[in-house]
Amino acid sequence: MRLYSLQLVYKQDNRVTPLVAAHDLSSFGFFERKTAKEFMDFTGKLIVERSAPDSGRSQVPEQSYICHCFVRNDKLAGICISDSEYPARVAQSLLSQVLIDVYTCSQAQFKQLEAELARYQDPKKADTLSKVQGDVNDTKAIMTQTMENLLDRGEKLDDLVARSDALSAQSKAFYETAKRTRRCCNAL
């Protein structure tokens, strides 16, 4: 489950100007990296060119990659290229997040984009919804385990109750015998 690139472009009447882009090309061989980067940029630009200005979110599957595209109403668009396993929802939320952050800072944006890309490589940790879901699921598993432990404890407690009852009965018998022994064998 990987993200390969993240690009922001400005779409203006069928012309697309790329603004910032971040790539993670570590899964390609050294010599393929340059071509892969150019190819991804080109694909992203092409897809944004071809999509209508108000098409919003869309996913375009390629050979084994999926290109998520988000065209906003104010002519800004974001493209995220990932492999086919990456959940579409997380990719789209990443695009929304990044496009919102565009307005906050301009110069440091490139580094920020790289950071976001690196962060979102693991969708379970980065996306809040996934994180919450994972946490809640873990908690549920732990609670089920606790319940099982509790039921074991209940069984053991049952056992203990029985045994201590038996013990107290036997000690009482012991006391009675001792008393009788003292009473009756006194004369000897």
Partner 1 sequence: MTASRDRTNEFQSVVQLMRGRLSNGAASGAAASASEQHSPAKARLHQRSQFNQLARRVGADLKSTCAKVEKLALLAKRQSLFDDRVPEIQELTYIVRQDLNALNQAIGSLQEVSRNGQSQFQQQQQQQSRTHSNSVVLALQTQLANMSDRFRNVLETRTETLKQNAARREQFSATSSTVDLLAKPSLLAQDDELHRTSSDVAIDMSGAEGNWRRQQQALLDQNEDYLNSRADTMRNIEQTMVDLGQIFQQLATIVREQDEMVQRIDASVDQTTINVEGAHAELLKFFKTVSSNRRLMLKVFGVLIVFFVIFVVFLS
- Contact positions vs partner 1 (CB under 8 A): 55-59, 87-89, 92-93, 129-130, 132-133, 136-137, 139-140, 143-144, 146-147, 150-151, 153-154, 157-158, 160-161, 164-165, 167-168, 171-172, 174-175, 177-179, 181-182, 185-186, 188
Q: Closest separation between CB of residue 29 and partner 1, Å?
A: 33
Q: Closest separation between CB of residue 146 and partner 1, Å?
A: 7
Nearer CB in complex with partner 1: 110/175: 175
Nearer CB in complex with partner 1: 29/184: 184
Count the neighbouring beta carbons within 10 Å of the beta carbon of residue 37.
Answer: 16
Nearer CB in complex with partner 1: 35/137: 137
Gap between the Cα atoms of 95 and 57, Å rounded = 10
The Cα angle at residue 180 between residues 179 and 185, in degrees rounded to 5? 115
Residue-wise burial string across 81-108, b where 16 or more C-beta atoms lie within 10 A, e elsewhere:
bbeeebeeebbbbbbeebbeebeeeeee
Which one-letter DSSP state was computed for residue 4? E
Q: Closest separation between CB of residue 109 and partner 1, Å?
A: 24
Nearer CB in complex with partner 1: 27/145: 145
Contact 76, 8 (CB under 8 A): yes
